[in-house]
């Protein structure tokens, strides 16, 4: 079925701002704690008092390089900051210190997966800049209030080329960027608190056209869902507009999450001339090869690499591998467990299954999981050796280990009397009791209803409180009823 | 600065002098009680422990663009009316740590923009040598305070000559150190890549001692150079050296140069040659470009540096602004800034605007680059460059205030040092037939204040002044 929208192709570029998780601001020592009382993290430098000067936070530079290397960017070795000049009450100095012609990271890409397809979204740049303060319009009837705590917090702006073509791709891209910043510990990725913010540049053109259409910039997208909804709305709006004979105006628009629509906030003619020039208060800085290669070596294995490794080297399914790589903490824990066992699949199943379930139910993160990777590997070995079964391991032993992380798995299983019994004489007693309790079923079995074996094994399991090794029990029963 | 009187006596002396010279309008505020209290503390300290600080009891005035915690700071502008500094400039902190006494803040051109001190919200400063004449600017109050003996040393700031030019007009010494020599933290910015705190004094040794204390790396200013601090003790060694000196041929051929100043300069050169030094004219075909380049780049930076004075967080806020944000900004800034500051903000905004940027700002940056290369080449062959400090002696009030271009062109010999970051000093060597003093400028290569000050001492002796 052909649809009007099939005539058009959407072209989308995203600008993601990520607040860096440094303890102090980009150009001074003020704290960056989220949620502090208004204007308590403001030195004269943050407030732009006369005579104050910036001084670059090295950690922020390092974090920007980390993200750049993780996104396959080229790192600019000769760096300087630039002033972006405009007036706004939440901008204390009347200019924002940013980077203009020489971003610290150039080019690069982020790999995303949409459906079955994997592709690299091309980046234009990643640059460093300072955040502005926050204007608050709704706590006073008469005045706008400004909180400068956020002013000067380091940001990286990750800018794609116009290389995305659907709301879904944009959704995947932002998800991936959020995973990366969290993976690298450079940003907490919290969109609700504004640590991660996204602006979308959207345009449409007829399929086959190579020239870009007139773009609209949509601002204030404070969740990944909103990124998707805003782009969907914009594409539809533009197509309808063009189909009705209109033309798209270059505009800045804002997203209204209340009804999933966008509205214009200003036209191109009102655009600022930012009068960028090199920030004279900061000397240019050079990043040495040693510094960059040191940071490269310190990078953790990245999700894309781990995903491939888990599938090709460890033989995990794509689904299991993806589950493990969804968050850095999970993959990190899994990697540690692998140091102590070769039961790759069993470990993946156990972590993706009972462990995650426990953490989710208790709203905990992996960093709060008390069972050590060594202990978990030992528990998996007990299952593998038939000493406990999977269900006992997950429902009984795991909670006991969480409660007493200092004890080892075997000890707990023994103390709780949960080790499977493989002593045939003991098993035989349970088998006998079970078979004697249901003579009718035994007769039916003997007549050929072999499926009843499950019932007998189940009964033995019940009698043994789960300790009977089901494989042995099955063999025993089969022999007995021959 | 010889330590034979008590600090309290010294402070009282200067307070009396300030009182007796109120008409010069050099100080906008005198910290009388506080200065006496500091002096008493230092005298007690001295009786217990001796003179511990390098500047024990040195009475210093500071230009009203330098932040002194707990004191008003206004840049002689209405826009900072009522503003109190909440931290110490690094340079001020270093002075206090070595026992200096800050006696007051000094009048200047608004935001350090001007060459005559006629652009101050506090009114004109009068030249003590002839009160009908300007003291020069922008650090006019600081120069006159030293000229009239109202303090031992003054701190000014020099973006294009604002220390050397008033020193020339007032017959005292004025040093602009190398860019990056003294932390700018706490100095109100005019043009960040040009600004330096400068020092006024009546002899080279005083200046050297204050320079040593204020110099050096600072955790709050990453543009400070970490070269070794110039030691004042280096000046005590006898200097028998023969210097190789240059002057720009075009400087002396400049049509605006007063013939008497030219003649004095040439006569001085002859005497130096007679003493065995080499003094040679070098070609400097870029001279006509330095003033335009300077005004493009400094106004560009100033237009951005002065954006923070918007009435939102501090400073003047108009009573009639209303609800519209852009009206609010326009009212605050129109009422708060004076004419010259507005002129430079507009000029700077213009040269950075899309469409004009490359023709002005980019071009000027290229000229600045060329000037630096040319300067390095000269210093590979010469120890220092000499020139008149200003093309003409102190003029009368109102004489140039209606012609900004003529005012700008008076900076022709001084802006060069700021464009290329080298140190320069004006030495009070001459007297004009009209009775006014005038000086000679000496410049050395970047971070070579030691040569500059040693040579200055020699040159002062050539004229028998020191």
Burial class (CB in 10 A: 0-12, 13-18, 19+), B27: buried
Residue A275 maps to a domain? yes
Nearest to A277 among B65, B87, B361 (CB): B361
Q: Residue A241 — φ and ψ, nearest 5°?
A: -60, -50
Return the bridge partners of A261, or none: A256
Tokens 């630096």 appear where? B372
Rg (CA), chain B: 21
Token pair recorded at residue A42 = 């403001």
Is B251 tagged catalytic? no
At A465, which CATH number?
1.10.10.410
Average pLDDT value over all residues in chain B = 95
Confidence of residue B279 (pLDDT cuts 50, 70, 90): very high
Containing structural domain, residue A428: 424-480
Parallel, antiparallel, or unpaired for β A82-85 and A95-98?
Answer: antiparallel
- Tell me if A28 sits within 8 A of A43, measured CB to CB: yes
Reduced 3-state DSSP string for A97-160: EECCCCCCEECCEEEEEECCEEEEEEEEEEEEEECCCEEECCCCCCCCEEECCCCCCEEEEEEE
Contact A94 B361 (CB under 8 A): no
Inter-chain contact A94–B184, Cβ cutoff 8 Å? no
Cα–Cα distance for residue pair B222/A56, rounded to 1 Å = 8
The three-state secondary structure class of B35 is helix
The whole-angstrom separation of Cα B341 and Cα B454 is: 37
Q: Could you tell me if A77 and A11 lie in one domain?
A: yes
Percent of residues, chain B, with pLDDT higher than 70: 98
Q: A65 CA to chain B: closest CA distance, Å?
A: 21
Any domain includes A157: yes
Are residues A251 and A360 located together in one domain of the fold?
Answer: no
**Helix or strand or coil: residue A343?**
coil
Residues of B with CB under 8 A from a CB of A: 65-67, 73, 75, 80, 83, 85-87, 89, 184-189, 191-193, 219-223, 300-301, 303-304, 306-308, 310, 312-314, 325-326, 329, 349, 352-354, 357, 361
Task: Answer yes or no: are the C-beta atoms of B427 and B466 closer than 8 Å.
Answer: no
CA distance B333 to chain A (A): 12
Specify burial of residue A137 (Cβ count, 10 A radius: 0-12, 13-18, 19+).
exposed
A433 lies in the same domain as A335: no
> Using CB atoms within 10 A of its CB, is residue A207 exposed (0-12), middle (13-18) or buried (19+)?
exposed
Least confident of A368-372, B306-310, B372-376: A368-372
- B456 classed as catalytic: no
Q: Hey, is B158 helix, strand or coil?
A: strand
**Mean pLDDT of the B293-304 span:** 98
B67, B76, B77, B162: the catalytic one is B162
Asked if the model's pLDDT at residue A399 lies above 60, the reply is: yes
Instruction: With a cut of 90, say whether residue B107 has pLDDT above it.
Output: yes
Same-domain check for residues A473 and A370 = no
In angstroms, what separates the C-alpha of A278 from chain B's closest C-alpha? 10
**Local confidence band at A112 (pLDDT 50, 70, 90 cut-offs):** very high
Structural domain contains residue A10: yes
DSSP bridge partners of A156 = A18, A128
Distances (CA, A) of B157 to A105, A284, B33, B114: 38, 24, 26, 12
Alpha helices in A17-128 (DSSP H): 58-70
CB A153 within 8 A of CB A26: yes
B218: nearest CA in chain A?
A: A55
Model pLDDT, residue A406: 86
**Better pLDDT: B244 or A473:** B244
Candidates A38, A45, A51, partner chain B, best to mutate (most B CBs within 10 A): A51
ipTM (interface pTM): 0.95
CB contact under 8 A, A55 and B219: yes
Model confidence at A338, in pLDDT bands (50, 70, 90)? very high
* pTM confidence score: 0.90
**Burial class of A263 by CB neighbour count within 10 A (0 to 12, 13 to 18, 19+):** exposed
Interface residue ranges in chain A relative to chain B, Cβ cutoff 8 Å:
44, 47-56, 83, 85, 87, 89, 92-95, 146, 273, 275, 277, 280-283
Closest CA to B80 of B289, B326, B335: B335
- Min mean pLDDT across A338-352, A414-428, B69-83, B431-445 is at A414-428
Q: Which three-class secondary structure state does DSSP give residue A471?
A: helix
- Specify whether A132 is located in the same domain as A59: yes
Q: Over the stretch B413-424, which tens digit does the pLDDT of each residue have?
A: 999 999 999 999
Structure tokens at A180: 């990366």
Is B76 marked active-site?
A: no
The verdict on A335 and A380 lying in the same domain is yes
Taking Cα atoms as reference points, which of B188, B189, B157, B114 lies closest to residue B339? Answer: B114
A55 & A106 share domain: yes
Mean pLDDT, residues B184-205 taken together: 98
Q: Which of the residues B74, B76, B90, B138 is marked catalytic?
A: B138
Q: Which helix (H) or strand (E) holds A419?
A: none
Q: Name the residue facing B353 among A52, A56, A273 (closest C-beta).
A: A273
Is residue A350 within 8 A of residue A340, CB to CB? The reply is no
Q: Are residues A214 and A284 in the same domain?
A: yes
**The last residue of a domain, from among A254, A273, A291:** A291
Using the 3D structure, point to which of A291, A312, A339 is the last residue of a domain: A291
pLDDT of A214 reads 94
For B380-421, where are the alpha helices, taking DSSP H only? Answer: 404-409, 415-420
**pLDDT at position B238, please?**
83
Q: Give the mutation candidate from B304, B330, B364 for the A interface (greatest A CB count, under 10 A).
A: B304
> pLDDT, tens digit, for every residue of A353-363?
999 999 999 99
Would A230 be classed as within a structural domain? yes
Q: Is the pLDDT of residue A245 over 70?
A: yes
For residues B76 and B89, give the distance between their C-alpha atoms in angstroms, rounded to a whole number: 17
H or E element, residue B143:
helix B140-147
pLDDT band at B38 (very low <50, low <70, confident <90, very high): very high
Predicted pLDDT of residue B463: 65
Pairing of strands B59-63, B101-106: parallel
* Yes or no, beta carbons of A92 and B301 under 8 Å apart: no
Q: What is the pLDDT of residue A313?
A: 94
Claim to verify: residue A254 and residue A391 sit in the same structural domain: no
Whether residue A170 is contained in a domain is answered as: yes
Q: Give me the pLDDT at residue B466, please.
A: 45
Q: Residue A83: which of B304, B353, B361 has the nearest Cβ?
A: B304
Q: How large is the angle between the packed helices A470-480 and A424-437, nearest 10 degrees?
A: 60
Residue B2 confidence (pLDDT) above 70? no
Count Cβ neighbours within 10 Å for each residue of B95-118 and write b for 16 or more, e otherwise. bbebbbbbbbbbbbbbbbbbbbbb
Boundary (domain end) residue, out of A396, A415, A434: A415
- CB contact under 8 Å between B353 and A53, yes or no, is no
Q: Is the pLDDT of residue B3 over 80?
A: no
Neighbours of A28 (CB within 10 A): 20
Going by C-alpha positions, the residue among A228, A231, A214 that lies closest to residue A267 is A214
Beta bridge partners of B298: none
> Cα distance from A227 to chain B (closest Cα, Å)?
30
Looking at the structure, do residues A142 and A203 belong to the same domain, yes or no? yes
Identify whether A75 is part of a domain: yes
Question: Does residue A296 sit within a domain?
Answer: no
Contact A53 B220 (CB under 8 A): yes
**Omega prior to B138 cis, within 30 of 0:** yes
Structure tokens at A295: 């940071």
Q: Considering only CB atoms, which chain B residues are within 8 Å of A85?
A: 303-304, 307, 352
Percentage of residues in chain B with pLDDT exceeding 90?
89
Same domain, A287 and A436: no
Structure tokens of A13? Answer: 């570029």
Q: How many CB atoms lie within 10 A of CB A284?
A: 11
Q: Residue A135 falls within a domain, yes or no? A: yes
d(CA B426, CA A211): 62
Residues A174 and A265 in one domain: yes
Residue A2: per-residue pLDDT = 54
Give the Cβ contact number of residue A181 at 10 Å: 26
Of B75, B300, B325, the CB nearest to A277: B300
Task: Mark yes or no for CB contact A51/B83 under 8 Å.
Answer: no
Asked whether the predicted pLDDT for residue B77 surpasses 70, the reply is yes
Domain count, chain A: 3
* Chain centre to alpha carbon of residue A101: 30
Do the Cβ atoms of A20 and A63 come closer than 8 Å? yes
């Amino acid at each position: 079925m052909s649809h009007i929208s099939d005539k058009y192709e959407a072209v989308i570029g995203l600008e993601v701002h990520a607040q860096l998780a440094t303890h102090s601001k980009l150009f001074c020592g003020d704290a960056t704690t989220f949620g502090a009382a208004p204007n308590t993290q403001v030195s004269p430098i943050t407030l732009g008092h006369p005579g104050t000067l910036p001084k670059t936070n090295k950690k922020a530079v390092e974090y920007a390089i980390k993200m750049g290397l993780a996104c396959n960017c080229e790192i600019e070795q000769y760096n300087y900051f630039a002033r972006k000049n405009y007036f706004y009450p939440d901008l204390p100095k009347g200019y924002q210190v940013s980077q203009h012609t020489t971003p610290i990271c150039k080019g690069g890409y982020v790999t995303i997966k949409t459906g079955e397809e994997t592709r690299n979204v091309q980046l234009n740049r990643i640059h460093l800049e300072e955040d502005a303060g926050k204007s608050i319009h709704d706590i006073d009837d008469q005045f706008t209030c400004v909180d400068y705590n956020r002013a000067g917090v380091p940001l990286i702006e990750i800018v794609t080329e116009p290389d995305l073509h659907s709301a879904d791709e944009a959704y995947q891209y932002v998800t991936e960027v959020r995973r990366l910043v969290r993976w690298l510990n450079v940003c907490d990725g919290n969109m609700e608190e504004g640590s991660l913010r996204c602006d979308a540049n959207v345009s449409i053109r007829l399929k086959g056209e190579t020239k870009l259409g007139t773009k609209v910039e949509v601002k204030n997208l404070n969740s990944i869902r909103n990124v998707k909804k805003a782009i969907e709305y914009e594409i539809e709006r533009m197509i309808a507009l063009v189909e009705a004979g209109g033309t798209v105006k270059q505009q800045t628009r804002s997203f209204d999450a209340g009804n999933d629509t966008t509205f214009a906030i200003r036209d191109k003619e009102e655009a600022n001339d930012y009068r960028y020039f090199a920030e004279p208060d900061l000397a240019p800085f050079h990043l040495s090869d040693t510094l960059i290669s040191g940071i490269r070596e310190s990078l953790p294995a990245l999700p894309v690499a781990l995903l491939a490794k888990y599938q090709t080297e460890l033989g995990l399914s794509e689904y299991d591998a993806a589950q493990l790589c969804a968050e850095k903490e999970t993959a990190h824990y899994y990697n540690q467990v692998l140091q102590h066992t070769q039961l790759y699949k069993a470990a993946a199943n156990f972590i993706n299954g009972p462990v995650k379930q426990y953490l989710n139910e208790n709203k905990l993160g992996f960093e709060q999981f008390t069972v050590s990777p060594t202990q978990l590997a030992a528990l998996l070995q007990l299952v593998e050796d038939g000493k406990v079964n999977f269900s006992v391991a997950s429902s009984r032993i795991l909670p006991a280990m969480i409660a007493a992380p200092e004890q080892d798995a075997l000890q707990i299983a023994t103390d709780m009397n949960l080790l499977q019994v493989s002593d045939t004489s003991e098993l035989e007693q349970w088998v006998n009791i079970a078979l004697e309790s249901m003579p009718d079923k035994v007769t039916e079995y003997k007549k050929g209803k072999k499926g009843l074996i499950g019932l007998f094994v189940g009964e033995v399991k019940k009698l043994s409180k789960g300790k009977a090794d089901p494989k042995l029990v099955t063999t025993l029963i089969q022999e007995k009823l021959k | 600065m010889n330590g034979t009187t008590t600090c309290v006596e010294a402070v009282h002396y200067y307070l009396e002098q300030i009182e007796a010279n109120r008409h010069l309008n050099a100080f906008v505020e005198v910290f009388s009680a506080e200065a006496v209290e500091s002096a008493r503390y230092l005298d007690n300290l001295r009786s217990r422990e001796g003179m511990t600080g390098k500047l024990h009891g040195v009475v210093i005035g500071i230009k009203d663009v330098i932040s002194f915690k707990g004191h008003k700071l206004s840049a002689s502008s209405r826009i900072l009316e009522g503003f109190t500094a909440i931290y110490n400039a690094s340079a001020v902190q270093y002075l206090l740590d070595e026992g200096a006494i800050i006696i007051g803040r000094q009048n200047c051109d608004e935001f350090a923009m001007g060459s005559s001190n006629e652009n101050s919200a506090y009114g004109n400063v009068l030249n003590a040598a002839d009160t009908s004449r300007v003291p020069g600017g922008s650090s006019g109050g600081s120069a006159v305070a030293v000229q009239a003996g109202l303090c031992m040393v003054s701190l000014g700031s020099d973006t294009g000559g604002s220390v050397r030019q008033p020193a020339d007009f007032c017959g005292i010494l004025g040093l602009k150190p190398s860019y990056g020599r003294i932390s700018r933290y706490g100095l109100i910015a005019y043009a960040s890549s040009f600004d330096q705190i400068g020092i006024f004094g009546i002899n080279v040794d005083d200046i050297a001692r204050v320079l040593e204390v204020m110099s050096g790396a600072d955790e709050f200013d990453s543009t400070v150079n970490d070269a070794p601090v110039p030691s004042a003790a280096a000046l005590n060694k006898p200097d028998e050296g023969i210097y190789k000196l240059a002057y720009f041929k075009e400087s002396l051929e400049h049509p605006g140069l007063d013939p008497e100043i030219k003649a004095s300069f040439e006569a001085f050169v002859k005497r130096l040659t007679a003493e065995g030094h080499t003094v040679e004219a070098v070609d400097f075909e870029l001279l006509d470009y330095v003033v335009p380049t300077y005004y493009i780049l400094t106004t560009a930076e100033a237009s951005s540096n002065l954006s923070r004075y918007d009435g939102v967080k501090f400073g003047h806020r108009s009573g009639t602004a209303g609800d519209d944000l852009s009206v609010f900004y326009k009212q605050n800034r129109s009422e708060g800034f004076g004419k010259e500051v507005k002129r430079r903000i507009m000029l700077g905004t213009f040269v950075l605007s899309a469409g004009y940027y490359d023709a002005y700002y980019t071009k000027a940056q290229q000229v600045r680059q060329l000037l630096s290369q040319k300067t390095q080449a000269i210093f590979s062959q010469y120890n220092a460059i000499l020139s008149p400090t200003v093309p003409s002696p102190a003029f009368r009030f109102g004489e140039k205030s209606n012609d900004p271009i003529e005012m700008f062109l008076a900076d022709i010999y001084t802006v060069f040092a700021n464009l290329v970051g080298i140190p320069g000093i004006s030495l009070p060597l001459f007297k004009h037939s009209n009775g006014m003093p005038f000086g000679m400028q000496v410049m050395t290569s970047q971070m070579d204040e030691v040569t500059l000050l040693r040579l200055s001492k020699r040159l002062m002796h050539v004229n028998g002044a020191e």
